[in-house]
Amino acid sequence: MKLLTRYLAKEIYSSVAIVFAGLLALFSFMDVIQELHDVGQGGYQLKDALLYVALTMPTHVYELFPLAALIGSIFAIVQMANNSEMMVYRSSGASLKQMIFAMLKIGLPLVLLCLLFGEVIAPPSDHLAQELSMKAKNSRMTLKEFRSGVWVKDEHSFVNVKSVLPDTSLLDITIYEFDETYHLRTITAAKSAAYDSQDQWMLEDVKQTGFSGRGTSINSQAKLAWHSTLNPNILNVLLLLPEKMSSWDLYQYTKHLSENHQKTERYEIAMWNKLIYPIAVLIMLLLALPFASYQRREGGVSGKIFIGIVLGLSFHFGGRLFSNLGALNGWSPMFSATAITWIYLGIASVMMWRTERR
């Protein structure tokens, strides 16, 4: 059985690597085509677009892991069945239980790789890609995060934001406005700000201090409109989508929202998705196991690969559907995130049971 496991692992790993190469080439090509539309905007050049695509590739690797594992393992198993190797292994005494344990052992390194990309590599890489894109397309502005908050240079103003919320509204904003000779003209402090439909920020609970040759003046207002080149799209570089954050960051932010009595469903669903997603790789390998009973009269290898693609894509989009429905309808975050995984585990179990009965 150890020999079977080693040989099966070699075939599956090589097939998964080939599938990954093909899928990443396809997705990268599509990303390049999409980024070409933005080349020439500000200082955004072709080299920036290619670097952006390269930095977003780890995210694709993470997202494609279950699909690549399913297609690659189906391809390897069907090829072995086509050469009657699987029949020989089963005839020599390898039981279904032993085959399942072999597939689980083979899948563990893939699970660890999936965790590595999802938790360590992809989040900072995607953040860096977004920041690169913003800086290249908006050359008039600079943005940096410090312990004191986020600092933004906006033409003749320097803006400090203590907190940026997921809906891109701002908390504790201080705007230092200078004149053309860089003499401080006004300091505007506001408790919060929200971007309205008129493409401007509406500051709330505002205290404005003005400086002139005759002295200083202080003015307080409940609300004040603020026109700025800073907009929510630019602020998004500070905020990865929940699906692209690490599970630890999601846990920390969910805890923060809960302590402040804010809704946490979307982030809890994303956190459970991140935790359960690597396990889906194992389920995809088990789903491929029934294809070991492949018979020539049931169709060619390409037909089996097509079935694998359909199953993988339905898993991917089905997971998103359950997550969105859960967020909209207030379902349990754990159920919303894990339902599709348990459904496919059930499908794999039924397929293996039917195959064993034949």
Calculate the alpha carbon distances from 214 to 184, 185, 219 in Å.
14, 12, 16
Taking the C-alpha atoms of residue 128 and residue 124, their distance in angstroms, rounded to an integer, is 6
Is 204 a residue whose pLDDT tops 70?
Answer: yes
Is 301 a residue whose pLDDT tops 70?
Answer: no
pLDDT value at residue 246: 85
318 domain-assigned: yes
279 domain-assigned: yes
pLDDT value at residue 140: 46
Which amino acid is it at 50?
Answer: L
Give the bridge partners for 88, in sequence order.
none
Residues 312 and 280 in one domain: yes
pLDDT value at residue 90: 66
234 domain-assigned: no
Residues 9 and 112 in one domain: yes
Residues 124 and 253 in one domain: yes
Backbone angles phi, psi at 333, to 5 degrees: -55, -40
307 domain-assigned: yes
pLDDT value at residue 319: 87
If DSSP codes are grouped into helix, strand and coil, which group holds residue 113?
A: helix
Last residue of a domain, one of 201, 228, 255: 228
257 domain-assigned: yes
pLDDT tens-digit map of 132-168: 887 777 644 444 555 667 777 777 788 888 877 756 7
Residues 62 and 98 in one domain: yes
Residues 184 and 252 in one domain: no
Residues 246 and 344 in one domain: yes
Residues 173 and 186 in one domain: yes
Residues 85 and 23 in one domain: yes
Residues 164 and 132 in one domain: no
**At which residue do the structure tokens 């020989």 appear?**
88
Q: Characterize the bridge pairing of strands 201-212 and 184-195.
A: antiparallel
Residues 211 and 108 in one domain: no
**At which residue do the structure tokens 């907190």 appear?**
163
Give the lowest-confidence range in 51-60, 165-174, 219-228, 300-309: 300-309
Is 49 a residue whose pLDDT tops 80?
Answer: yes
Taking the C-alpha atoms of residue 173 and residue 192, their distance in angstroms, rounded to an integer, is 7
Residues in the chain: 358
pLDDT value at residue 141: 47
Last residue of a domain, one of 203, 228, 253: 228
Residue spans of alpha helices (H) in 225-264 = 232-235, 247-259
Residues 246 and 120 in one domain: yes
235 domain-assigned: no
233 domain-assigned: no
Last residue of a domain, one of 195, 228, 261: 228
Is 207 a residue whose pLDDT tops 70?
Answer: yes
Note the maximum CA span of the chain: 98
Domain count, the chain: 2
Calculate the alpha carbon distances from 236 to 117, 136, 171, 173, 242 in Å.
22, 15, 15, 17, 12
Residues 173 and 131 in one domain: no
Q: Give 269 or 156, the one with higher predicted confidence.
A: 269
Q: Rounded to an integer, what is the distance from CA 263 to the centroid of its chain? A: 21
Tell if the pTM clears 0.85, that is, is over it.
no
Residue 256 sits in which domain range? 2-137+240-357
Give the lowest-confidence range in 226-235, 267-276, 312-321: 226-235
At residue 1 the predicted structure's pLDDT band, cuts being 50, 70 and 90, is low
